[in-house]
Amino acid sequence: MVKETLFEIQSLYRDTFRVTGYRFGKGEKAVCIVGSIRGNEVQQLYTCSQVIRRLKELEKAGKLKEGKEILVIPSLNPSSMNIKKRFFPTDNTDINRMFPGYHLGETTQRIAAKAFDIIKEYVYGIQFASFYMPGAFIPHVRMMKTGFEDVEMAKEFGFPYIVLRNPRPYDTTTLNYNWQIWETHAFSIYTSNTEKVDEDSAKLAVKGILNFLDKEGVLTYAGHDGYISQVVDDKDLISVRTKEAGFFECCVKVNEEVHKGQLLARIIDAYEGEVKDCLYAPWDGIVLFMHDEPMTYEDTAVIKLISLRENR
């Protein structure tokens, strides 16, 4: 393993901005793995650290294939990680909305450009991503329909679900989208949380990545193959929305099977403590996503269900 500073940018107000990378093996630029891009992505950073730990062990055991290079970047936004601020601290912009970047642009555009110059050369790109809404997920692979997505390859991770979705206009400046457009096989990995560590889902993600790298001939890993992945289209997910704002009291868990009419959550009045709203399952399904903050707004999708096959 070689630890190095991939690039740095001088700062007027803080220490020099540095992005650190860990290289394993030499040869073809096979795989690039990116951890946190936003400053509150604690789980993403933690999971990436566990990938580095396992790759160290496998490299020491001689399990990496010759002629292949793996680059792991724990964080593309260490300045925000230091203060747990989701976006870049100086101007509050999102680096993951700046790809492929611009070398003469704003700071986050220059960070994205310097990073993308390095990582666009890899055959496979894996990003530990976070959702724009606070909540917990079933660990899964998510891909955009760009015409370059490879569903069969995504099954090699062995995660329970693969979620596909059509890109929206703002998605064209994300890392995953640009990786695909530059003909990198790109995958976004969602574990259970964002701002707190979940060791079980991190372990599942690490095993999934090692399974994938084994099947693609990058390393040798004798692990469990995981699940037979079910492919789900994002537009077919069932969103359960609130009618009122207040305290959010969930009555089910992520990955739980629920049935039509089952109580999923309650909304409690923040001033008077009374139940203002009850959320019921509109269909039989599996809880893919659950809001996990203590309060919620009105008309918010706090639960997302995967429809069971018998519904279809």
Q: Using CA atoms, how far apart are residues 34 and 19, in angstroms rounded to an integer?
A: 11
pLDDT at 309 over 80: no
Nearest alpha carbon to residue 204 among 221, 214, 184, 190 = 190
Gap between the Cα atoms of 88 and 69, Å rounded: 30
What would the pLDDT profile of 181-214 be if each residue is shown by its tens digit?
Answer: 999 999 999 998 899 999 999 999 999 999 999 9
The C-alpha atoms of residue 230 and residue 209 are separated, in whole angstroms, by 17
| Rounded distance between C-alpha atoms, residue 216 and residue 152, angstroms | 12
Tell me the mean pLDDT in the region 73-79: 96
Element (H or E) spanning 113, and its range? Answer: helix 107-119
Is the pLDDT at 109 greater than 80, yes or no?
A: yes
pLDDT at 312 > cutoff 70? no
Write down the mean pLDDT value for the chain: 94
Tell me what pLDDT residue 134 has: 84
Can you say whether the dihedral through the CA atoms of 17, 6, 118, 74 is positive or negative? Answer: negative
Give Dmax (Cα) for the chain: 66
Per-residue model confidence (pLDDT) at position 170: 87
> What are the CB-based long-range contacts (under 8 Å, 24+) for 81-89?
81/36, 81/39, 81/41, 81/45, 82/39, 83/39, 84/39, 84/40, 84/42, 84/195, 85/39, 85/40, 86/38, 86/39, 86/40, 87/38, 87/39, 88/39, 89/14, 89/39
Q: Is the pLDDT of residue 311 over 80?
A: no
Indicate the pLDDT class of residue 310, thresholds 50, 70 and 90. low
Interval 115-127: pLDDT, tens: 999 999 999 999 9
**249 phi and psi, to 5 degrees?**
-120, 105
Domains along the chain with CATH numbers: 2-232 (3.40.630.10), 237-311 (2.40.50.100)
The pLDDT value recorded for residue 84 is 85
The pTM assigned to this predicted structure is: 0.93
